[in-house]
A and B are shown apart, each in its own frame.
Chain A
Amino acid sequence: MLKFILRRIGASALVLLGASLLMFFLTINSGDPLKDLRESNDPNREQLMAQRSELLRLDDSPWERYWDWLSGVGGCFTGNCDLGVTINGVDVLGLTQQAAVSTLRLITVATVLAIIVGIALGILTAIRQYSGFDYSITFSAFLFFSLPVFWAATLLKEFAAIQYNNWIADGHYAPWTIVIVAVVAGFLLQAVLGGTRKRRMLTAAAVFAFVTVILFVFNALDWWRNPMFGIGGVLVVSAAAGVLVTALVAGLRNRRALYAALTTVVVGVVAYLAFAPLLVNSPSWGLLAGLFVLAVLVSVGIGAAWGGYARKQSMLVTGITGVITSLMVFADLLIAHWASFLGVKSRPISTIGSQTPNFTGGFWEQVLDMATQILLPTILLTLVSVATHSRYTRSSMLETLNQDYVRTARSKGLSEREVIVKHAFRNALIPITTIVAFDFAALIGGAVITEQVFGWKGMGALFQDGLNAVDPAPVMAFFLVTGVAAVLMNLLADIAYAALDPRIRR
C-alpha cells in the first residue's frame, strides 16, 4: 500500500509540473497584457508600456518567465515563497493566503454537506426508484443543476435574507403559515418514509400534528427571537441520533452498541455541564477544538469498552454519536446567544460579504455572525453539488442493487439494512468517491460565480482578475491551490478505491 501511495505521489508531482507548464503558456497567450495601454494615447504611453513590460517581464522569453515562477514556488520548500506580484504591484503570496482561507472556509462546509445530503438522497431515491419522491428529487436536482447560480442566489437572497430579516423583526408565524408548513412537512416525510397507504397517512398525520403544535408553542414563547434549546434538548436530540446511528451501523439488536451510544450521549451532556462556565465565559477556537478532540477520543473509548465481539462497530457508533453530541452542544451555545446577537445585528442574514464590517460582539456573537454570513453561499454551493452527487449515487446504487451478490445477500435472509449498507452501498461507493474527489477541486473553481454574487473575494476573484488582465502570477497562484487540491483529492480517491476494492491494489 505504501509503495502504491508513493508511486502515486510521484506521478502527481509530474502531473502538476506538466499542467503548470501548460497552464502558464495558456495564460500568457490568452490575451494582450498591454491592451488597455495600446488603446491609450497618453503622451507617456510608451513609458507606461515599458513600465508594465518590466513588471510582467514581457521582454523575457516565456521559458525564462516560467522558470522564474517555478523557482519562486520551489522556494516554498525552503521557506521563502515567491509567487510574484500582480499587475497592481501586490504581492501574490499574501493575496493567495487570504483568498485560499476565505474560499476553503466557504467550500469545505459546502462539500461536507453536499456529500452527506447528496449520498443520502441518492440512496433514498435508488431504493424508492420511480416513486413520487424519486421524481421530485430528480426534478429538483436538474432544476438546480441546469439553472444558473445567480438565479438561485437571487431567490435565496430574497427569501432567506431579506424576507427572513423582515420577519425576524417580529418573529411570529401567522396561523395559516403554520398550517402550510405542517402540511408540507407531513407530505414530504411520508414520501420519504414510504410504506403502505395506511402507514403513509399515519406518518403524514403525525408529522402534521407535531409540527403544528411545536410552531404554536414557539410562537407563544417568542422562540424565534429568544430561542433556547437547553441541556434537555441536547440530551433528547443526541439520544435520538445515537439510536438512529446504532440502527444504521450496527442494528438495534446489537444491544451493546446501543448502550454504548447512549452512554456516550450521557457522558457528553455531563461534560457539557462541567465545561459550560468555561465555554460561556472564556471561549476560544482553541478551546473548542481541544474539547472536540477530547470528546471524540472519549466516545471512541466508550465504544471500545462496551464493544464486546463487535468492538470496531461499537467504536464507530459511539464515535459518530460523540461527534453529533458535540455538535448539539455547540448548537445549544449558539442558540443561547441568538437573542444577544439580534441585539447587535438586527438584520441577521446578510446578502454580501464574509463578515459584517466593524462587527462588535463577544466570541459567540462573532461565531454567529460568521455563520449567518456563510449561510447563503453554502446553501447555494451545496444545492449544485447535491444535484450531481445524488444522481451518481442513485445510478450507482441501482447498479449494485441488481448485482448477484446483493441478491445472494437477500436470499440469505440478511436484513435490508445490512444488504444496503454493507453490500450495495459499499460497492456503490467506488464511482461516488471519484465524483466527490473530482467535485472538490472543481468547486474551488466553480465558486467563482458564487463568490462574486455574494461579495466574497477569494480564489475565484484572484483567477478572474488575473485572467482578464493576462497577468500570470495570480492565475498561477490559483492553479497552485486548485491543482494541488485536485491532485490530492484524486490521490485520496485512488487510495479509497484501493481500500474499497482490494483487487485494484497492485
Chain B
Amino acid sequence: MKIRRLSAAVAVAASGALLFSACTSPAGNDDPAEGESTATSAAADGPCKADLGDITTADGEVKVSVEDEFLGYNTNTPETYSTYNSAVTDRIFGGFYYFGADGSICADEDYGTYEAISEDPLQVQYTLNDEAAWSDGTPITYADYLLDWAAQAITEDGKVTDDGSETPLFNHISGLTLGDYVPEGPQADAPDAKSFTYDYERVYADWKIQIGSAFPAHVVAEEAGVSTEELVTAIQDLDMDVLKKAAKFWNEGWLSQPGEVPDPAIAPVSGPYDFKADGWEAGQYITLEANDKYWGTPAATKELTFRFVAADAQIQALANGDLDVIQPNGPTVDTVTQLEQLGDAVTVDTNQNLTWEHLDFNFNSGIFSDSLEAREAFALCVPRQKIVDDLIKPIAPEAVMMNAREVFPFQENYEATVSESYDGRYDEVDLEAAKEKFAAAGLKEGEKVRIGYAAPNPRRAAEVEAIKSSCDQVGFEIVDSAAPDFFDKDLPNGDYEVALFAWAGSGQIASGENIYSSTGQQNYGGYSDKTVDEAWKTLASTTDEAVHAEQTVIIEKQLWDTLFGIPLFAHPGVIASSSSLENVRNTAAQSGVLWNSEQWARAS
C-alpha cells in the first residue's frame, strides 16, 4: 500500500488536505494526516540543509531502502502519487521550497526565490535561477510553470475552473484547486521569462508551499506537435486542440512499465540526480546518478540506489552492507535495541516526527458528549506519562508527553504556546480527582467506554491496556473496540466513546480548521465551539505570522478547557546508517531520511 505524501501538490488543497496514510505497519500509520502549523525560524544550525561549502561528486554508491516500487516520472497523478515515488522524484526535480528537519519551510535558492509582493490582495513573485535548466539544456522558464498551473486549472470542457468542482482536463492529484485560487494563472512578459507572478483571488495562509517544482513544458509541447511558445499561447487562449494533446501526454506519456527507465528525451530532470541508463530492475532497485548538467550544488555521491525492501528485512541488510541507510517504517522498542547491538558500524538517530497520537471524544453521542466532567474524569485517569515512558521513550529517548495539537514539542514555538494554553492539570494521573469528577458527572460504576482504533496495532492495543489498568479503578469500564475497518464504519457511525488515532502534519498552517471547527470535514466527533471557530477564521484569512501564533494559543487553550480530546505523543522515528556515511540527517517531515540525500558522502 502506498503512503500518500503531502507536499506542495496536495498542500494546494485549500484549507487542509487530509490524507489517510494507509500503511498496515503494526506500529500504525493508518492515520489521517493533517496540515499542521510549523515553526518558521531556524535554530542555531537551522532546520534547513547545512551549507557544506564546495562539493564535488565523488565516485561511489549509496544504497537506501524504500518500501515500494518506483512508479514513474510523473508523480502527480492520483495513480503514482505516493511517499515512495516522491522519494525518487524529489531527487530529480528542483523546487522553490522544501521542508526542513523540524518541518519548517526552507527555500531552495539554487533553484529560485519567491516573495509576497503584496499581502492583501495576495500577490507572490517567483524568480528562477538564471542558470536553472533541464538536463537536456532547455532553460527552466515561465512556460513550465504556466503548464503546471494549466494542469491544475483547466477543465475538461476547456475553461478555467470556477470553483474547482468540474471535471479536470489533466489527471492531477490536486484537481483544480490552484486554478480556483489563481484563476488568471501566473503572469510574465514572455514564455521564456525567468520571473513570474501569481495573483491570488483571496488570501491564502499557506501560500509559501503552493508552488514547488514543475514538469518540462518543452517536452509536452513537442509531444503535442507545437513549439513551446505555441503551447504557452494555447494555454492562455484555452486552445483545446493543442491542450487535449498536451493533456493526453501529461496523463499517460510519463508513466513507466516497471524496469523501463524513462527515455531521457521525454524525461529531462531539474535536480541534482538523473536516471541511470539500465538502472532499474523491476521489484528490486532503481539507481540514480548525479546529474552532471546540474547548475547548483552537485550531489556528493555519484550513485544513489533505492532498494525496495520491507521494514522487517532492513536491519539485517544494513548489518550485512546490503543497505547503507534505512528508515524502518513503524519502529518498535526492539528496532532500536537491535540497531544498537550492531555497534560502531552503524549510526542510529531517533527523533519525533510530525505525526501525533491522540484520544478524541465522541461529542455526537455517548457519555462524554454532553458532560465536561465525564471528559475530565477520563482525562485525569489516562496515564499519559506511563504510555510515553513504556512505549515511546525506549524508541526515542527525547520523547515527551505532548501538550499541544498545533505545535510539536521539537518546534521552537512549542514552549511559548503550551505555557499560555495549558497548566499541566492532566500531566499526572489523579485517581481521587477523577473519581470526584466521575461522581459529579453522575456516572455509575462500570460505565462502558469503547476506545476505537484501526486494528491490528500492537502499540495502540498497549495504550488501551494502560488506560484500562488505570481508568477501570475510577469506575469506567474500558473496552478495546479495535476493528480493521474502524475508519470506514465505527468512526463515521459514531460507534465509539473515544477514538485513538494520529494525525500526520503536512506543514500547512490552517488545516486544523477542518478538524476543530464546527463544520470541519475531519471533525468526526462533532465538536462545536464558537471561540475556536472564530479563531480559525481569523487565522486562515491572514498571512501574518504574529496573528497565526496568537490565534493558535487561543485555540489550544479552548481545546484544553473544553477537552476536545487528549494529545498523547508525537510518533517516534528511527533512521540508521552505515558509519562510513557522512551527513545523513533525520527529519520530522514526511519526506523522510532522503530529504538531504544529495549531501550524503562516504567518509574519506
Interface residues of A (CB under 8 A from B): 32, 35-36, 38-44, 46-48, 50-52, 55, 87-91, 94-95, 98-99, 102, 150, 154, 157-158, 161-162, 165, 347, 349-355, 357-358, 452-458, 461, 465, 468-469
Q: Considering only CB atoms, which chain A residue lies closest to B174 in the complex?
A: A44
| Residues of chain B whose beta carbon lies under 8 Å from any beta carbon of chain A | 1-2, 4, 10, 13-14, 16-20, 22, 24, 32, 61, 63, 69, 71, 77-80, 164-165, 167-168, 171, 173-177, 180, 255, 257-259, 276, 279, 281-285, 287, 303, 305, 307-310, 312-313, 316-317, 319-323, 487-488, 514, 521-522
Known: A44-B176, A353-B322. 14 other contacts (CB 8 A): A32-B488, A36-B4, A39-B32, A42-B17, A43-B175, A43-B177, A44-B174, A46-B165, A47-B168, A48-B78, A89-B255, A351-B320, A354-B284, A355-B281
Closest to B165 in A: A46
B514 touches A41 (CB 8 A): yes
**Can you report 22 A-B residue pairs in the complex whose CB atoms are below 8 A from each other?**
A36-B4, A36-B20, A42-B19, A44-B175, A46-B165, A47-B165, A47-B167, A88-B79, A89-B79, A95-B258, A157-B320, A158-B316, A352-B322, A353-B322, A357-B63, A357-B305, A358-B287, A453-B312, A453-B313, A455-B309, A456-B283, A457-B69
- Complex Cα distance, B32 from A407, in Å, reads 71
A88 partner residues in chain B, CB cutoff 8 A: 2, 71, 79-80
Q: Point out which of B164, B282, B309, B320 has the most chain A C-beta atoms below 10 A from its C-beta.
A: B320
Please, which residues of chain A bring their CB within 8 A of the CB of B61?
Answer: 357-358
- A352 near B80 with CB under 8 A, answer no
The CA of A194 and the CA of B180, in the complex, are separated in Å by: 84
Q: Is the CB of B488 within 8 A of A455?
A: no
Q: Which residues of A contact B165 (CB under 8 A)?
A: 46-47
Q: How close is A289's CB to chain B, nearest CB, in angstroms?
A: 23
Which one, A51, A347, A455, contacts B321 given CB within 8 A?
Answer: A347
Name which residue of chain A comes closest to B306, CB basis: A357
Q: Are A42 and B10 in contact (CB under 8 A)?
A: yes
Take A44-B175, A46-B165 as given contacts and tell me if A102 and B79 are in contact as well, using a CB distance cutoff of 8 Å: no
Q: CB-CB < 8 A to A352: which residues of B?
A: 307, 309, 313, 317, 322-323
- Contact status of A358 and B18, CB under 8 A, knowing A90-B255, A454-B313: no
CA distance A165 to B316 in the complex (A): 13
CB contact between A353 and one of B78, B284, B321 (< 8 Å): that residue: B284
- Minimal beta-carbon separation of A343 from chain B (angstroms): 16
**A39 and B80 form a contact (CB under 8 A):** no
A42 to B303, CA, bound (A): 36
Taking each of B19, B168, B322, which has the highest tally of chain A beta carbons within 10 Å of its own beta carbon?
B322
User: Known: A42-B10, A351-B317, A457-B69. Contact between A87 and B79, CB under 8 A?
Assistant: yes
Task: Give Cα A17 to B319, complex, Å.
Answer: 47
State in angstroms the CA–CA spacing of A90 and B14 once bound together: 30
A154 and B287 contact, CB distance less than 8 A: no
CB of B178 to closest CB in A, whole Å: 11
In the complex, chain A residues whose CB is within 8 Å of the CB of B521 = 41
Residues from chain B with Cβ under 8 Å of A98 in the complex: 258-259, 282-283
In this complex, which of B79, B283, B317 has the most chain A Cβ atoms within 10 angstroms of its Cβ? B283
In contact, A94 and B257 (Cβ under 8 angstroms): yes
Residues of B within 8 A of A91 (CB): 257
Would A39 and B79 be within 8 Å (CB), given that A352-B322, A455-B317, A468-B1 are in contact?
A: no
Contact A358 B320 (CB under 8 A): no
CB closest chain-B residue, reference A358: B287
Which applies to chain B's interface (DSSP): helix, strand, loop or mixed? loop
User: Which residues of the other chain, B, contact A469 by a CB distance below 8 angstroms?
Assistant: 1
The reply to whether B522 and A41 contact each other, CB–CB distance below 8 Å, is yes
CB distance from B334 to the nearest CB of A (A): 12
B153 to chain A, nearest CB (A): 12
Contacts of B316 in A (CB 8 A): 154, 157-158, 161-162, 351
Structural contact, B164 and A42, CB atoms closer than 8 A: no
Chain B residues contacting A99 (CB-CB under 8 Å) are 283
Docked Cα-Cα span, A42 to B35, in Å, equals: 11
Residues on the A chain within 8 Å of B24, using CB: 468
Q: Which residue from chain B places its CB closest to the CB of A51 in the assembled complex?
A: B78
Q: In the assembled complex, how far is the CB of residue B390 from the closest CB belonging to chain A, in whole angstroms?
A: 25
- A331, B255: Cα distance in complex, Å: 43
What residues of chain A lie closer than 8 Å to B177, measured between beta carbons?
43-44
Contact A43–B313 (Cβ < 8 Å)? no
Contact between chains at A357 and B1 (CB < 8 Å): no
Q: For residue A468, which residues in chain B have a CB less than 8 angstroms away from its CB?
A: 1, 24
Alpha-carbon gap, A455 to B16, bound state (A) = 36
**Are A457's CB and B257's CB within 8 A?**
no
Residues of B within 8 A of A94 (CB): 257-258
| Bound CA span A94–B14, Å | 38
Report the bound CA distance from A38 to B18 in whole Å: 11
B527 CB → nearest A CB, Å:
16
Known: A46-B165, A162-B319, A355-B284. A455 touches B308 (CB 8 A): yes
Q: Which residue of B lies closest to A350 (CB)?
A: B322
Q: Which residues of chain B have C-beta atoms less than 8 A from A50's C-beta?
A: 167
Cα-based distance from A165 to B282 in the complex (angstroms): 27
Write the nearest CB–CB distance from A399 to chain B, whole angstroms. Answer: 41
Contacts of B319 in A (CB 8 A): 162
Q: What is the distance, in angstroms, from A50's C-beta to the closest C-beta of chain B?
A: 8
10 shortest interchain CB distances as A-B pairs: A44-B175, A457-B283, A89-B79, A41-B521, A39-B20, A455-B309, A357-B285, A41-B18, A157-B316, A98-B282
B61 to chain A: closest CB distance in Å?
7
Q: Give the shortest distance, in Å, between A239 (CB) and chain B (any CB).
A: 39
Are B320 and A455 touching (Cβ within 8 A)? no
What residues of chain A lie closer than 8 Å to B282, measured between beta carbons? 95, 98, 457
Contacts of A150 in B (CB 8 A): 312
Residue of A whose beta carbon sits closest to that of B163: A43
Please give, as numbers and ranges, the residues of chain B lying within 8 Å of A162 by CB-CB distance.
Answer: 316, 319-320
Asked, given contacts A352-B309, A358-B61, whether A40 binds B279 with beta carbons under 8 Å apart, the answer is no
Of A32, A157, A357, A452, the residue contacting B284 (CB under 8 A) is A357
Separation in Å of the A171 CB from the closest CB of chain B?
17
Q: Which residues of A contact B180 (CB under 8 A)?
A: 43
Measured in the bound complex, the distance between the Cα atoms of B190 and A471 in whole Å is 46
Please name the residue on chain B nearest to A34 by beta carbon: B488
B322 touches A458 (CB 8 A): no
Chain A residue nearest in CB terms to B311: A452
Q: How far is the CB of A274 from chain B (nearest CB, A)?
A: 36
Residue of A nearest to B303 (CB): A358
Closest to A99 in B: B283
Q: Which of A42, A347, A351 is the one whose CB lies under 8 Å from B18?
A: A42
Interface centre among A42, A102, A157, A469, by most B CB within 10 Å? A42
Give the nearest-CB partner of A47 in chain B.
B175
Q: Pick the residue among B171, B310, B320 that contacts A350 (CB under 8 A).
A: B320
Q: How far is the CA of A44 from the CA of B18 in the complex (A)?
A: 11
User: Which of chain B's residues have a CB closer than 8 A to the CB of A457?
Assistant: 69, 282-284, 308
Across-interface contacts of A456 in B (CB, < 8 A): 283-284
Contacts of A42 in B (CB 8 A): 10, 13, 17-19, 174-175
**Residue ID in chain A nearest B255 by CB atoms:** A89
Residues on A with beta carbons closer than 8 Å to the beta carbon of B32: 39
- Once the chains are docked, how many angstroms separate the CA of A350 from the CA of B175? 44
Choose among B176, B308, B320 the residue that contacts A347 (Cβ–Cβ < 8 A).
Answer: B320
Q: Which residue of B lies closest to A461 (CB)?
A: B283
- CA distance in complex: A458, B69 (Å): 12
A458 to B293, CA, bound (A): 36
Using Cβ atoms and an 8 Å threshold, which residues of chain A touch B487?
35, 39
A55 nearest CB neighbor, chain B only? B79
Bound CA–CA A264/B72 (angstroms):
54
Least Cβ distance of B26 to chain A in Å?
13
Within the assembled complex, what's the spacing in Å between the Cα atoms of A358 and B259? 13
Smallest Cβ distance from B97 to chain A, in angstroms? 21
Residues from chain B with a CB closer than 8 A to the CB of A95 are 258, 282
Given A452-B312, A457-B282; A165-B176 close (CB under 8 Å) = no
In the assembled complex, the CB of B184 is this many whole angstroms from the nearest CB of chain A, namely: 20
B1 touches which of A46, A154, A453, A465 (Cβ 8 Å): A465
Residues of B within 8 A of A358 (CB): 61, 276, 279, 287, 303, 305
